[in-house]
Chain A
Amino acid sequence: MTRFYTLINKINTWFWSRVVASSHSNIRSLNVFRIILGLFLLLFYSPNYGWIGKAPKVFFNPPLLSLGIFLDKFPSTTFFQILDILILLCTLFIITGIKAKISSLSYGILNIIGLTFQFSFGKIDHTIFIYVMLICLAFSGWGTELALVPDKKPNSEAPQKSFSLIAVLLCFAFFTAGFNKAFHWLNFDTSKNGTGFWLYQGWINLGREYLLVGFVKTLPFWLLKVLDFFAVIFELTPLFFLLYSRKAWHTWLLVAGVFHFTSLFILNITFLIHIIIYLAFFDFSIIYDQAKNIISKKGFQVAAFIFLAAVFLVRIYDVFNINLSSFLFLPDANILPNLVAAMIVWIFAIMLLFRNAFLTPPGQRFYK
């Protein structure tokens, strides 16, 4: 038994040391990333749950294994609007670093509550990762610097623990996406096609008909079959890259960025939230000193306050008028402008991921 435990312990140590070596971050990078992530959420990915309270009760059909089964109807619109406002306040607190630990925890939990009701319409979307990531980051020490009300310094292992966990969770999440596909897509039957399934379902049910969708419909099935194979391999393999080396992991993140960017063109799916998930592994410590310098200037502080207050008021207006717009000023129903906006953000993100994978000299990667 002791030998067995020793073996398990050895495997555990080997596994996590490999993961930490590939995914580690540091306090400086984390605190810059906190501001970037907060701004991303405020400007590009602001949830709005107020509409749920407007739906008839009979649509309340929660998944069997969800918190929703403890209730028998949707809460009122007021409940969801309070939830929206609390989420917005948490976003502001994350950006400005007002008790970022509790703010990020609250942000994640409040959204999971909101989504529990949203998914009670009968469709579970798979957007949970960003909220889980925020809950992990809450314990990383990302609110200790560049912050108005800083958190207490955590122990030195905290960033490594958080990032290694996020990396493993991301690999597992992709594995769950690829597992079933492997059984149904990995064959040489060119009369069947998985990419085409996503294409036609999105086109018919969700109006995804822009950019290259029309062109992709004319492609031969064998070519789409190649995309099926690529998608399955891409989704099943991130753990191997993570365990292999830091460079391999950053290369996989870059490939992931290009994969989603391609999906945006051929399937019209923005995968917007994946941008900030992948950028968590970018080394933002390279701009820490500049950020600290700028933030300390009075003029910048006033401008930042006015900017954040203005955006907050626009978002509050959206909450009370139930305007659904992830991107500020862009209603979600306007698919093409949202695709173009997402395309611009993706291009920027891919450039950063490329830099992370290939252009950052190893010696400059992280401050000790």
Chain B
Amino acid sequence: MHSVKSSILLVLILIIPFLLKLKGYEPYPAILFPDGSGNLVKENNQIDIYVKEVYALDKNNAWRKVDANRFFSPVPGKYFSYGIMRDFQLGLTEAKRHKILKRFHIESPDVPVSDIKERNDWIKSKLEKQQLNSSVIRIAVVRHIYSADSGKLIAKHIKNDKILYLDK
């Protein structure tokens, strides 16, 4: 049987990370299962979903959506959406990651130019493998509109986009 002391310790080990997660600072390692409490919203019998997508220029100079799995390989495709959510860490040149660490000046705000070049070279090599122009990519927020009855895509609109020049 577990003692009172070990029970109290267990409660603390479990509750503290959980409370931190609820506050938006999920720690690791911690015994937590996926929350995923978002909702799909239906309006006028339509479902709107905003998705970030990456496009590159093909041989005919037309924008083509890049294949996530091939693009990110060997990094598992599931991290692709998290990479583009952060625009492949484009924002890192200005300010890095966590507000708290920034406040206490623990983190350096600067990312070495060599790291940016490494990232650009990595992206370029991935584009070349898909026979795409490797000098530029476009990261777009795309609005997908689906029929709530059939689940079929009705329309797609680009809401806004960013261009990343890889040779700079």
Seen from chain A, the residues whose Cβ lies within 8 Å of a Cβ on chain B are 5, 8-9, 12-13, 15-17, 20, 50-52, 54-59, 61, 63-69, 112, 115-116, 119, 121-126, 128-129, 132, 157, 160-161, 164-165, 168-169, 172-174, 176-177, 179-181, 183-185, 191-194, 196-201, 204-207, 214, 217-218, 221, 235, 322, 324, 332-333
Q: Interface with A: B37-45, B130-138, B158-166, which one?
A: B37-45
**Minimal beta-carbon separation of B58 from chain A (angstroms):** 22
| Cβ A65 vs Cβ B37 within 8 A | no
Given contacts A56-B118, A58-B115, contact A122 B85 (CB under 8 A): yes
Select one of B18, B33, B49 contacting A174, CB under 8 A. Answer: B33
What's the Cα separation between A183 and B26 when bound, in Å? 19
What's the Cα separation between A66 and B30 when bound, in Å? 9
Q: Using a Cβ–Cβ cut-off of 8 Å, how many residues does chain B contribute to the interface with A?
A: 68
Given contacts A173-B33, A205-B81, contact A64 B100 (CB under 8 A): yes
What's the Cα separation between A126 and B26 when bound, in Å? 11
What's the Cα separation between A195 and B73 when bound, in Å? 29
What's the Cα separation between A236 and B144 when bound, in Å? 33
**Given A116-B28, A177-B34, A196-B40, 18 more contacts at CB 8 Å?**
A54-B74, A63-B27, A126-B33, A129-B31, A161-B1, A173-B32, A176-B31, A177-B32, A177-B36, A181-B36, A192-B41, A197-B39, A200-B49, A206-B78, A207-B69, A207-B77, A217-B146, A333-B73
**Minimal beta-carbon separation of A187 from chain B (angstroms):** 9
The 10 closest A-B pairs by CB, nearest first: A217-B151, A65-B27, A196-B40, A177-B33, A51-B74, A180-B37, A66-B28, A56-B119, A192-B39, A197-B40
Select one of A66, A126, A173, A214 contacting B151, CB under 8 A. Answer: A214
| Cβ B36 vs Cβ A198 within 8 A | yes
A196: chain B residues at CB < 8 Å are 39-40, 47
| Cβ B92 vs Cβ A176 within 8 A | no
| Cβ B28 vs Cβ A63 within 8 A | yes
| Cβ B79 vs Cβ A16 within 8 A | no
| Cβ B82 vs Cβ A122 within 8 A | yes
Asked if B155 lies at the interface with its beta carbon under 8 angstroms from chain A, I say no
What's the Cα separation between A128 and B98 when bound, in Å? 24
Asked if B65 lies at the interface with its beta carbon under 8 angstroms from chain A, I say no
Listed residue (B1, B73, B101) with the most chain A CB atoms within 10 angstroms of its CB: B1
| Cβ A115 vs Cβ B39 within 8 A | no
**Minimal beta-carbon separation of A309 from chain B (angstroms):** 26
Given contacts A58-B116, A324-B76, contact A184 B150 (CB under 8 A): no
B25: chain A residues at CB < 8 Å are 63-65
A199: chain B residues at CB < 8 Å are 40
**Minimal beta-carbon separation of A56 from chain B (angstroms):** 4
A-B contacts, 30 listed (Cβ < 8 Å): A8-B4, A17-B1, A51-B74, A51-B75, A55-B122, A57-B118, A58-B116, A59-B89, A61-B97, A65-B27, A115-B28, A121-B75, A121-B79, A122-B79, A123-B82, A124-B28, A128-B32, A165-B10, A169-B14, A176-B18, A177-B34, A183-B37, A185-B37, A185-B39, A192-B41, A193-B39, A197-B38, A218-B149, A333-B69, A333-B77
Q: What secondary structure prevails in chain B residues at the interface with A?
A: mixed
| Cβ A58 vs Cβ B118 within 8 A | yes
B14: chain A residues at CB < 8 Å are 169, 172
| Cβ B144 vs Cβ A180 within 8 A | no
Asked if B62 lies at the interface with its beta carbon under 8 angstroms from chain A, I say no
**Minimal beta-carbon separation of A121 from chain B (angstroms):** 5
Within 8 A of A (CB), among B1-38: 1-4, 7, 10, 14, 17-18, 20-22, 25-38
Asked if B83 lies at the interface with its beta carbon under 8 angstroms from chain A, I say yes
Select one of A122, A164, A173, A207 contacting B2, CB under 8 A. Answer: A164
Closest A residue to B33 using CB positions = A177
Select one of B42, B51, B146 contacting A191, CB under 8 A. Answer: B42
What's the Cα separation between A129 and B31 when bound, in Å? 7
